Amino acid sequence: MAAYAPLVMDHFEPEATLRLIDEQRVTFGQFVPTMFVRMLKLPEDVRNRYDVRSLRWVTHTGAPCPREVKKDLMDWWGPVVYEGYGGTEVGTATLATPQDWLEHPGCVGMPTPGTRMAFYDEEGNRLPEGEIGEIFVRVPAYADFTYLNHEEKRKSVERDGLISLGDVGYMKEGRLYLCDRRSDMVIFGGTNIYPAEIEMVLTQCPGVKDCAVFGIPDTDFGEALMAVVEPQPGHDVKPDEIRAYLKEHLADYKVPKHVEIGHDLPREDSGKIFKRRLRDPYWAKAGRTI
């Protein structure tokens, strides 16, 4: 039987990752979508230097993956990319195989065996299939849990025996589609906007390394969209260029009113941008939180 050894990089670097896959003949990998974006942005001659045909199963979690990114990745790596949705509290609730995703682009898969799933609006009403709501799930094979010294928080995430991870989405043809985190949703003049959709487009903009989109106070509409963009090294991107790119790919009301260029953006231990640290000063200045 072949022996398998884990390989862990101390930090992610696109070309170094490809080199490691090639040299070590890596068969299994776990990534987040931003890593795919950065590898796909490498010049074609750089990507072609490395043989990735050893890959058999690549999993990505942590955030929705842009459809174009995942399609381009599978054109490059082959149909080896799997996607799961779940969390520490509930385990793996859905799984999308490569074939299933190609037939239903954008989905995060079908519920795993025995998993129960329901969607609720802000008033706690259960929604029919196809309507967007907060996702509640229960994976029967997974043990129950509690939050240490936070009994009320534990109660707040449960409804009808199902658990919420704080995400918003909908079900279509038996498959789950994610919209965004409930806490990240922006209400612009009464219209719900999901920043994750804008971020997925923005990460594909030439010269953009990473970004965060969130709501800030607005006198006329309650909230307005703000995009903070971290450029790739050596690239000089302009706010007007960012907005022009987004207007080509999104409806006008989803194009951020404000765009800022930032460097060394605050990040969580997981590497994700610490969006709350960017957003909170605007709301503190306005003296309100919604």
Q: Could you tell me which residues are beta bridge partners of residue 248?
A: none
pLDDT at 267: 80
- List the structure tokens of 10: 């101390």
Dist CA 175 CA 168 (whole Å): 14
- Phi, psi (5° rounding) for residue 143? -65, 155
Angle, vertex CA 60, rays to CA 1 and CA 87, nearest 5: 100
**End-of-domain residue from the set 78, 99, 124:** 78
Q: Which residues, 6+ apart, have CB-to-CB distance to 262 below 8 Å?
A: 228, 229, 230, 278
Q: What is the CATH number of the domain that holds 203?
A: 3.30.300.30
Task: State which residues form the domain around 211.
Answer: 185-286
Q: What is the mean pLDDT of residues 9-19?
A: 92
Q: Work out the pLDDT band at 269, boundaries 50, 70, 90.
A: low
Residue 136 has pLDDT above 80, yes or no: yes
Spatial CA neighbour of 226 closest among 256, 203, 201: 256
- 115 assigned to some structural domain: no
Dist CA 253 CA 127 (whole Å): 26
Q: What is the pLDDT of residues 184-228, one digit of tens each?
A: 889 888 889 999 899 989 988 999 988 999 999 988 888 999 999
Dist CA 40 CA 246 (whole Å): 19
Residue 63 has pLDDT above 70, yes or no: yes
- 176 assigned to some structural domain: no
Query: How many structural domains compose the chain?
Result: 2
Q: What is the mean pLDDT of residues 21-41?
A: 92
**End-of-domain residue from the set 78, 107, 141:** 78
pLDDT at 240: 95
Q: What is the CATH number of the domain that holds 38?
A: 3.40.50.980
pTM for the complete prediction? Answer: 0.82
**End-of-domain residue from the set 78, 112, 140:** 78
CB 73 within 8 A of CB 21: no
- 270 assigned to some structural domain: yes
Residue 175 has pLDDT above 90, yes or no: yes
- 224 assigned to some structural domain: yes
- Phi, psi (5° rounding) for residue 141? -75, -5
CB 213 within 8 A of CB 256: yes
Q: What is the pLDDT of residues 64-80, one digit of tens each?
A: 788 888 999 999 999 99
- 18 assigned to some structural domain: yes
- 174 assigned to some structural domain: no
- 33 assigned to some structural domain: yes
- 37 assigned to some structural domain: yes
Q: Work out the pLDDT band at 110, boundaries 50, 70, 90.
A: very high
Residue 32 has pLDDT above 70, yes or no: yes
